[in-house]
Amino acid sequence: MIPLMSAERAWAYGMQLKHEGQTERRKHLHMIERLRKAVTYANTLTVITEQSPSCRPRTKQEAKAYAAGMNGILKFEQASWEEAKDYLMEAQTIYVELSASSRKEHILRAVYDKKVEELRPLVTFSAYNIGDESAMEDLRNMQGQGTDIAEIDNLIAATRQKEAASVSEFPVTWRDRTVLVTHDKVRMFLMSLRDHDSDVTKAATNQAKIAITETLLFNCKDAMQVLRDELKTDPSFSMRTGSESISDIHYLYTYLSYIRLQNTITRNMFMIDNTTDSNNQSFESKTSGRALQDSIRLYEINLQNFTEIQQLPTVGDDVDLITTIKHQVTAQKALRCFAIAESFGQSKKPAEALVLYDRSKEYVAAVISALQDTDMQARLLKLQRNIDSRMLIMQAQNILSQDDHAIKTADKATLKKRLTERLDEFVEDSSVLTKQPNIAVFPPEFTPVPCKPLFFDLALNHVEMPNLDSKLDVKPAPAAAGGLTGLVKGLWGGWGSK
């Protein structure tokens, strides 16, 4: 473990010096010394594993491959291409054999395969420097796959520069007008432009496509600066627009401006795809709010770039080109409306989202059949399907939000009532589960009720009762004294007798 960690530390320090010493020769020499130490420790590791009886054959092979790879990296940095290729191919061969013998151990096999892929660009670059011209195509493919080796980019640039220097005149045709390019940097850029589409097609990831397009834009900027410096001597350069006849160099500058704007739009679309469709996830389900805001901003930039294209000199005279641009603008508006609608949907504003989905659908219907760009047509077809599904979801959310709003509005008034007073209304009331639920008044309040009615038999006064004296054995009562005198006499008579 000691020589292994020492080798890793020396190698890591060397890579740091390589990153810092792009322009300093002293740091480059220091990097070489650190790599030499790494090689010494790696070779020591190989000797220890060979002599140790406790090391398995696989461990011994791994140590050999590690030492061969470290030697190859040292020779690569020293530009000893033949030795570098031999060491690196030896390491590759060992890793391939280890991978083949680890079919059941998937983790180990993945590690070995990764090491093979890491060494492949170095082997190909060394082969090209030895004289293998066929390796250039492999290097270009590796560049498209996002291989992070600065030497490959530098080599491809140097090759194109040599090719541009060998050609005295390079004709360029754009919109039925041919211009001869005499500037070396502009020729080199236009030569790289020929391979740009194929490089992007071969790129494995969106990130690699973005890197290739940004490199093209950087080179385009340099080429435009060369033409801009020469156009400074033209006093009417900034005033020539519309259908006026312009010089060849001004026409070439317009062409490069068109390329820059178009590729900026393409780069932005790759960035949107990289943000909203990563890991093969759907746009609407995995896109964060920040990603949606970035996408909307990029769509706005694209629309501004299309406006600038239409304002380029002589472009306004090309009816077909202007029509194509207008179709592209409508397509961008459809995509932008969809992104804004998604943003509203995440903000719980389904009504606003539905309006924008509908507007996006109108844009798609207006332009999808007229587009000549197959890639944009595919985007809009996918967008059309997404709009239909998302509108259904937003309609449901809109209905639910309206019901929730009505319930919340009613709740405020309903919850003030006691439960016994609103038995015919269902409201989720958490207070009924507390220690002081608002259920009823206890003891209940007195309620006034009507009194018990009185019944009067009025019909009895009109009934004539039968005479039953004959059936009773009762003596007839003496005749009573008549009048008030008899009554008084009876009272006083009775009192006086006592």
Closest CA to 222 of 270, 168, 272, 160: 160
Residue 409 confidence (pLDDT): 55
227 in Cβ contact with 249 (< 8 Å): yes
| Helix and strand element counts for the chain (H, E) | 17, 2
pLDDT digits (tens, 9 = 90+) for 429-447: 777 788 888 788 888 888 8
Cβ partners under 8 Å of residue 457, min gap 6: none
Beta partners for 180?
Answer: 171
Determine what percent of the chain falls in helix, strand and coil, rounding each to the nearest 5.
Answer: 70, 0, 25
Residue environment code for 62-77, b if the CB has 16+ CB neighbours within 10 A, otherwise e = bbbbbbbbbbbbbbbb
Residue 315 confidence (pLDDT): 85
CA distance 425 to 1: 76
Residue 291 confidence (pLDDT): 85
Output the furthest CA–CA distance in the chain (Å, rounded).
175
pTM of the model: 0.58
- SS3 state of residue 170: strand
DSSP string, 65-109: HHHHHHHHHHHHHTT-HHHHHHHHHHHHHHHHHHHHTTSS-HHHH
**Cβ-count burial of 483 within 10 angstroms (0-12 exposed, 13-18 middle, 19+ buried)?**
exposed
Residue environment code for 289-310, b if the CB has 16+ CB neighbours within 10 A, otherwise e = eebbebbbebbeebeebbeebe
Residue 158 confidence (pLDDT): 54
Residue 283 confidence (pLDDT): 46
Residue 335 confidence (pLDDT): 93
**Cβ-count burial of 151 within 10 angstroms (0-12 exposed, 13-18 middle, 19+ buried)?**
middle
pLDDT digits (tens, 9 = 90+) for 328-348: 999 999 999 999 999 888 888
Residue 281 confidence (pLDDT): 40
Domain ranges within the chain, ordered by starting residue: 1-132
200 Rama sector, left if φ>0, alpha if ψ -120 to 50, beta otherwise: alpha
Closest CA to 125 of 96, 95, 93, 159: 159
List per-residue pLDDT tens for the chain, 498 residues long.
Answer: 999 999 999 999 998 888 887 667 788 889 999 999 999 999 999 999 999 888 898 999 999 999 999 999 999 888 888 899 899 999 999 999 988 888 777 788 888 888 988 888 888 878 877 877 666 666 656 554 545 555 555 555 555 555 545 445 667 888 888 888 877 788 888 887 887 887 788 777 888 888 888 888 988 898 888 888 888 776 555 545 444 567 888 888 898 999 999 999 999 999 998 876 543 344 444 456 788 888 999 999 999 999 999 998 888 888 888 999 999 999 999 999 999 999 888 888 888 889 999 999 999 999 988 888 888 888 899 998 899 889 898 888 888 776 655 555 556 667 778 888 878 877 777 777 888 887 888 888 888 888 888 888 888 888 888 888 888 876 666 655 555 555 555 555 554 444
CATH code for the structural domain at 1-132: 1.10.3450.40
Residue 280 confidence (pLDDT): 36
Which letter does DSSP use for residue 460 in this model?
Answer: G
Residue 211 confidence (pLDDT): 85
